[in-house]
Each structure stands twice: as C-alpha cells, then as structure tokens.
Amino acid sequence: MKFAGTRTPRRLVLALVALAVAVLAVSGCSMFKDASKSGTAKSKVGDCINVIDGSATDSKTSPVACTDEKAVYKVAAVYDQKTSCQDEQTSYEETLNGGTTAFLCLTPNFKEGACYNESQTTGYKFVACTAPEASFKVLKRIDGQADEFACDAATAVGFRIVPNPKTTFCLGNPKG
C-alpha cells in the first residue's frame, strides 16, 4: 500500500544530504589548499611579516605583530596568482609543485630607531645596528606624508617614500 506524499520528504532528505556532501567536498579542498601554505602565505592585507633569512628563491619569513621591531613588511595586497606590485612594494611568491599558492605585495614597515639590511636580490631584513651587514638606520618615520623634503638634510643620508599608505622614512648611517 502506498501513501500519497511519502516520496517528497525522502527526496528532500536526499537532496539535503547531497548538498551537505558537496559543501564538505568544496570546503575540504579549500582547507587542504590552505594547509599547504606557510603562515606568511596565509597573511591578510594589513598583517606584518618578519624576514628571517632573505633569499631570491627560498626566503624564510614569519608573520609578526605590526608593532614588533622585526615587522619589516606590511601586506598591501594578496593574490592567488603572480601580479605586478606597485612602486616601492616588494613581491612575495610562494609555490608548491610548480604552481603559485600565494602572491603578496609587501610595503616597508620600518620602525624609527631600528636598522635594516637592504639587498637587491632579497629585499629588507631587520638587523642590529651594530651588525656589519646593517645598511641603514631609520632616523624618522612620518606616517600620513610621502615627502622626501620632510627629512632633515643635515642628518638624513637617504629616504624611502611609500605612496600608499603615505609614509616617509628618513634614513641615516647605522653606526652613527
């Protein structure tokens, strides 16, 4: 004996189960994709990065609080594929099995009074001012202004300008 309407609830239950399986499959793949990323590659815009060991092909980095003196870079943009970064930004690309898993555009986040090493191939790295590899010391950091003339010409030997967000870094000799 068949009753009217028994198929509809069964179909509804099967549809809900199928939907749940599909959602788990999609989110599961996403979780596995993110699991293969480093802490740096999982960074969001506004997070900060410490460069532990700079390398043109295999840098060692880690996320840190932006207030930390070792927070050399701030994440300005995050992409899933290689993209051109703006002027005064450094690119960070993470690959796995030949494919890009993360691409970040980083902007300098230097601290006033701190020293850094600058390399054409590996970018910036925090170092002690007494270290032989120290390239420059940040004499003054001016947030909200991108103007090289804000630096005191009598003490500054250089500057870095970040257009977005507007920041001026007045640089000096690390030993002096």
Phi, psi of 167 (to 5 degrees): -150, 140
Structural Rg of the chain based on CA atoms: 24
Alpha helices in the chain (DSSP H): 7-35
The domain locations on the chain are 48-172
Cα torsion 172, 70, 119, 163 to 10°: value is: -70
Question: What does pTM read for this prediction?
Answer: 0.71
Angstrom distance (rounded) from CA 97 to CA 150:
47
* pLDDT one digit per residue (tens) for the chain, 176 residues: 444 554 444 443 343 344 444 444 444 444 444 545 666 778 899 999 888 776 556 667 888 999 998 899 999 999 888 889 988 888 888 776 666 678 889 999 999 999 999 988 778 889 999 999 999 999 999 999 999 999 998 999 999 999 888 999 999 999 87
